Amino acid sequence: MMIIRNRVLPIGRRFSAINICGLLFVKQSAELTPELLTHERIHTRQMTELFIIPFYIIYVAEWLVRVVLSGGNLFGSYRALSMEREAYRYQDDPGYLKRRRRFAQWRNIQKAP
Ligand SMILES: [Zn+2]
């Protein structure tokens, strides 16, 4: 995974990295932990199987729907996203991508941790 350190990411203080088409932009101050890398690799896999642009469309659309349904809970809606639930659930498991099934983000719907 290509990693680009950046000082000026417009992603808010709760986030340390953003994955844009498989390129990982990481805040200067952020620690690159194995969990972060696995989390982002899971997103890259999700993107690849959705041919990238649909990934972002679905991601943003699901987030907007959840924000409305939750009455404006921006961060909770982010954590509840299908893509994020899968990434957070398995970020501690470096072997996960080897056994991951296609479209696992929709096969294994569970509550956000
Ligand atoms: Zn994520």
The angle formed by the CA atoms of residues 14, 67 and 34, to the nearest 5 degrees, is 35
Give the per-residue pLDDT at 65: 98
Residues with CB under 5 Å of ion ligand 1 are 84, 87
Instruction: Tell whether 92 is covered by a domain.
Output: yes
Inter-CA distances, 57 with 7, 54, 96, Å: 26, 5, 25
Q: If you measure from the C-alpha of residue 90 to the centroid of ligand 1, how many angstroms do you get, rounded to a whole number?
A: 11
Give the per-residue pLDDT at 91: 97
Instruction: Tell whether 59 is covered by a domain.
Output: yes
Instruction: Tell whether 113 is covered by a domain.
Output: no
Residue 87 has pLDDT above 80, yes or no: yes
Structural domain for 58, as ranges = 33-107
Instruction: Tell whether 64 is covered by a domain.
Output: yes
Beta 23-27 vs 2-6: how paired, if at all? parallel
Q: If you measure from the C-alpha of residue 111 to the centroid of ligand 1, how many angstroms do you get, rounded to a whole number?
A: 15
Q: If you measure from the C-alpha of residue 83 to the centroid of ligand 1, how many angstroms do you get, rounded to a whole number?
A: 7
Give the per-residue pLDDT at 113: 54
Instruction: Tell whether 42 is covered by a domain.
Output: yes
CA–CA distance, 23 with 104 (Å, rounded to integer): 22
Give the per-residue pLDDT at 73: 97
Q: If you measure from the C-alpha of residue 87 to the centroid of ligand 1, how many angstroms do you get, rounded to a whole number?
A: 6
Q: Compute the average pLDDT of residues 11-20.
A: 87
Instruction: Tell whether 77 is covered by a domain.
Output: yes
